[in-house]
Each structure stands twice: as structure tokens, then as C-alpha cells.
Amino acid sequence: MRCPSCSHPDTKVVDSRDLEEEISIRRRRECIKCGYRFTTFERVEMANLVVIKKDKRREPYLREKMEKGILRAAEKRPITSETINELITHIESELRGMSTNELTSKQIGAIVMKHLKKIDKVAYIRYASVYKEFEDLDSLEEELHKLLRQRKEKNPRAI
């Protein structure tokens, strides 16, 4: 691992911890040359997961693409980057647990929405507006009413 401060090629691991249900490792490193300390993360790569797009093209799954979409939906919302990373990790766990390594973008989007709905309703609506391609205000309003009905069912005293 190259030092981000002085670019020296040798660093030593000072501390190592499992994170996120033991599918990633956090390592504290120290540069042998300048003594600069920094953190790295190692994550299990999702081998051979293929996303089937709407136009039937196939492309490899990229965590960065999912993260970008979720970050866009969660922009200016009170959601920490740690929460988003945990969310993506849970989603990836669910994807790995499926019986196939080829999933449609629609399937992945539905899983993302299911998890986002639990964390932040506004981020969920933002993500859903892209995923579900609301054609007009009526379809958006219908989705909002579904959310409100679900909230009332869970808490009848809610306004």
C-alpha cells in the first residue's frame, strides 16, 4: 500500500478490525518512511454479479453506481455516509443471497427502495421517482398516499 502523504511504497498495518458483518476490514496503516498514519478498507468483491438493463444489455455490478444513486436520493437529508455504506452492504448481502448471479436493474432497484424506505421516506420518494419513472404528478401523489397509509397503519394516532 502506497503512502498517500509521501508515496513511499512500504507501509505497515498497525491495527485491523472486521466491519459490516465481517465482509470488510478496516486497517490502520503507518508509512515506514514518514510515519504518516491512514486508514484503508478492504471489502469482499461481488464476483460475477451481472446487471441486466432495461434494454437487455448486460453489465457488471458496480457498487459505485448504486452508491451514486443512493447519494443523489439522500442529498441534503440527515443520513450519514456511514448509514449509506451500511445500507449498501445490506443490499449487497441480499443480492449475494439470491439464487442467481444475473439480476435485472428492476430487481435491484426494488431492493434498494425497500431498504431506503426504512431509513428515510424522502430519500425513498426521490429514488422511487427515478426508478418508477413517474409520468405525472398523479402517479407521484399515489405513491405518497401509499406511504401515508402505511404510516397510519403502523401508528393510527399519526396525522
pLDDT of 21: 60
Residue 137 lies inside a defined structural domain of this protein: yes
User: In the predicted model, is pLDDT for residue 13 greater than 70?
Assistant: yes
User: In the predicted model, is pLDDT for residue 82 greater than 60?
Assistant: yes
- The total number of structural domains that make up the chain: 2
pTM: 0.64
- Chain segment 29-80, per-residue pLDDT in tens: 999 999 999 999 887 665 688 999 999 999 999 999 999 999 999 999 999 9
User: In the predicted model, is pLDDT for residue 20 greater than 60?
Assistant: no
Same domain, 10 and 28: yes
Report d(CA 138, CA 17) in Å as an integer.
49
Cell of 59: 453489465
103 vs 157, more confident: 103
Any alpha helices (H) in the chain, and if so which ranges? Answer: 63-73, 81-96, 105-119, 121-131, 137-154
Residue 159 lies inside a defined structural domain of this protein: no
Strand-pair partners of 30: 12, 37
Report d(CA 95, CA 89) in Å as an integer.
10
Same domain, 64 and 14: no
Same domain, 93 and 126: yes
Burial of 128 (0-12, 13-18, 19+ CB in 10 A): buried
Residue 32: domain span: 1-44
